[in-house]
Amino acid sequence: MMSTLQLKPRELKIISVIAATHSIGDAAALLGMAQANVSKYLSDFETRVGLKVFERTTRQLALTQFGEALLPYVNATLDKNSQLVNFIADYKHEKRGKVTIYAPTGIVTYLARHVIHQIEDIGDIRISLKTYNLDRNEFSEGVSFPDDCDILITYAQPKDESLVASVLTQYSVTAFATVEYLNKHPLTGPEDLINHSCILIDSMLVDDANIWRFRVHGSDDVHDYRVTGNYICDNTQTALELARNNLGIVFAPKESLKKELTQGMLVPCFPHQEEWWLDLTAIFRKREYQPWRVQYVLDGVLNCLRQQIAQAVHGRPELGD
């Protein structure tokens, strides 16, 4: 009888992976099991239930009508089981489960290059790095915290005031170009940018333009300037590559151009270094609401970043390199 049916987590996982791959062979490879064992688990499940989950074709497996209706319940059960396992692991301070970190493109690259490998003994913790580039409104209105996010490293304060926002350092942001570009297209101040080819960031587009912000030289006043150009990128790193090829002016954190500035590949556009200051901020939930695995990774990331920021004056890697 269906009321006495016992469902095994292993067979539910097998059904989920077969549904994703449409292949018993591919599912077996992903699960690290023998193909014959995967087939047996599926066959035993279908026999006990009395319904087929998959239609077998010559090329692949396709879900039956029952399988289509069953799959959301299978995945929901697996998700709940994963949450339970993570809860027990967190309570026991075991290094198990997933931690998701979001950051802009350059910072994600920096974390991958200089930070993540320094977090020792992560056990079975899985660290997921995802890109989150800010749009223009988030600088003033606050940044959203993605649903699956555990740690967000960004340049703005959070919209949700219940979140913790820890400022790590400040970034000086201004305009850069090659010497060749500036020799051909001289400019004296930000007000001249309207006549120049500026390399735009897609997430900050407003009416095919970007708004670049500069502090007025010799004061604390900040002015916004509308800029346009022929090239649009979805991240600053790509924009820098275009600027290196004399295709226009890029608006970027000075810290991310350390190598280019040292080697003279790019130079500041303005002699007085009109600049806009951004706070590099780590955003996360209060510790009493954090799973232990998140606290473990958070402490590792923040300690490493703070040490590297402190060492930057001694020639060590700087954020954005």
Residue where the block lists tokens 């390199």: 321
Please say whether the beta carbons of 155 and 168 come within 8 A.
no
Residue type, 199: I
Q: Which of 228, 256, 250, 232 is nearest to 320 (CA)?
A: 256
One-letter identity of residue 68: E
Check if the beta carbon of residue 16 is closer than 8 Å to that of residue 74. yes
Which of 2-16, 28-42, 266-280 is modeled with the greatest confidence?
A: 28-42
- Whether 144 and 138 have beta carbons less than 8 Å apart is answered as yes
Those residues whose C-beta lies under 8 Å from the C-beta of residue 91, and which sit 6 or more positions away, are 292
Task: Give residue for tokens 């998140």.
Answer: 294
- Angstrom distance (rounded) from CA 266 to CA 26: 48
- pLDDT, residue 181, reads 96
Length of the chain in residues, anyone?
A: 321
Predicted local distance difference test score (pLDDT) of residue 105: 82
Q: How far, in Å, CA of 101 to CA of 230, rounded?
A: 33
Q: What is the pLDDT of residues 201-245, one digit of tens each?
A: 887 888 889 988 888 777 778 888 999 999 999 888 899 999 999
pLDDT of the residue at 282: 95
Report the amino acid identity of residue 15: I
Tens of pLDDT, residues 50-87: 999 999 776 788 999 999 999 999 999 998 888 888 78
DSSP states of 12-71: HHHHHHHHHHS-HHHHHHHHT--HHHHHHHHHHHHHHHTS-SEEE-SS-EEE-HHHHHHH
- DSSP-derived letter for residue 134 is P
What is the average per-residue pLDDT within 178-202? 92
180 closest CA partner among 249, 130, 114: 249
Dump pLDDT digits (tens) for 120-173: 999 999 999 999 988 777 877 899 999 999 999 998 899 999 999 999 888 788
Which of 174-183, 190-199, 302-311 has the weakest average pLDDT? 302-311
Taking only Cα atoms into account, the Rg of the chain, rounded to an integer number of angstroms, comes to: 26
What's the helix, strand, coil split of the chain in %, to 5? 45, 25, 30
For the chain, the average pLDDT equals 87
Give 312's pLDDT tier (boundaries 50, 70, 90).
low
Residue appearing with tokens 């069953």: 70
